[in-house]
């Protein structure tokens, strides 16, 4: 039996400040292949290249990855500011429509970091461009050295940094078998107001929303704010998430 196929969204990048490219971090691809047990296929995060209907005829699930660019503020009624750039409006156009299409058709959908934010905005929610600026919040961005440079050690960058409390008897608590987990943190933007149908299932110690599901979705439709793709081969929490996604994708393939 052939493996199910997972479409992994790419993000825009300018190579050498000259060449337009689409990229996906390899850890996302390895998580899909090695833990979810599916064949990862990258697709362009721009509607001029990727047609949603055709894409969903080819894949059995979709992974919305994290990315450097923030969701453009115009998507949730806020004003853009140079401080919060870069933006990737092509990915915004595609991803927000793709979220709706996946949920409507029951195509398994897993959102990570920006992917969680896209899921929220797709259902009318809002974001804050720099969650640490809100009263009582902590800095959720990646660790840096005293001179401001990004820490050179990936084990430090992606190390577990804070707890997340899960809703009792919620989808995540049932899936993970516990009501408190510890996760990494590498984001500036975060959910401000949950969208319609967006059910908050996990919250950090400072109140930042870390895990969501889409209410009444006919298929797998979960999102996490942390980077679950970094270490699901050895991290039991992230492994359980990708395995559950893989099971949903495999079931979708069998059904179709």
β-bridge pairing 162-166 and 198-204 = antiparallel
The DSSP symbol for 222 reads E
Q: Which of 113, 118, 128, 140 is catalytic?
A: 113
Nearby residues of 7 by Cβ (< 8 Å), 6 or more positions away = 41, 42, 43, 55, 58, 59, 61, 62, 63
Nearest of 99, 21, 13 to residue 64 by alpha carbon? 99
Q: Which of 72, 128, 187, 227 is catalytic?
A: 227
Angle subtended at Cα 92 by Cα 90 and Cα 97, rounded to the nearest 5 degrees: 110
Determine whether 227 is an active site residue.
Answer: yes
Q: Which of 118, 130, 210, 229 is catalytic?
A: 229
Residue 30 vs residues 52, 109, 251, 255: alpha-carbon distances, Å: 24, 17, 20, 25
Determine whether 149 is an active site residue.
Answer: no
Nearest of 165, 178, 156 to residue 209 by alpha carbon? 165
β-bridge pairing 109-112 and 180-183 = unpaired
Please list the residues that pair with 87 across neighbouring strands: 70
Within its chain, how far is the Cα of 2 from the centroid?
Answer: 26
Catalytic center residues: 113, 227, 229
């Amino acid at each position: 039996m052939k493996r199910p196929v997972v479409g992994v969204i790419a993000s825009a990048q300018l190579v050498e400040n000259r060449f337009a490219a689409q990229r996906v971090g390899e850890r996302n691809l390895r998580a899909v292949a090695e833990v979810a047990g599916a064949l990862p296929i990258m697709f362009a995060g721009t509607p001029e290249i990727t047609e949603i209907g055709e894409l969903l005829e080819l894949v059995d699930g979709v992974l919305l990855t994290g990315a450097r660019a923030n969701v453009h503020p115009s998507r949730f009624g806020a004003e853009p500011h140079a401080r919060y750039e870069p933006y990737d409006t092509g990915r915004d156009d595609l991803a927000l429509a793709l979220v709706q299409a996946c949920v409507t058709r029951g195509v398994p959908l897993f959102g990570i970091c920006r992917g969680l934010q896209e899921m929220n905005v797709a259902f009318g929610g809002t974001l804050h461009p720099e969650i640490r600026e809100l009263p009582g919040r902590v800095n959720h961005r990646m660790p840096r050295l005293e001179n401001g440079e990004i820490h050179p050690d990936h084990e430090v960058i992606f190390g577990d940094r804070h707890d997340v409390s899960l809703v009792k008897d919620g989808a995540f608590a049932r899936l993970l078998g516990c009501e408190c987990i510890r996760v990494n943190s590498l984001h500036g933007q975060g959910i401000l107001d949950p969208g319609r149908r967006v059910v908050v299932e996990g919250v950090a110690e400072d109140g930042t929303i870390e895990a969501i599901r889409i209410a009444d979705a006919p298929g797998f439709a979960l999102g996490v704010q942390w980077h679950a793709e970094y270490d699901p081969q050895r991290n039991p929490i992230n492994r359980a998430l990708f395995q559950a996604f893989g099971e949903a994708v495999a079931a979708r393939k069998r059904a179709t």
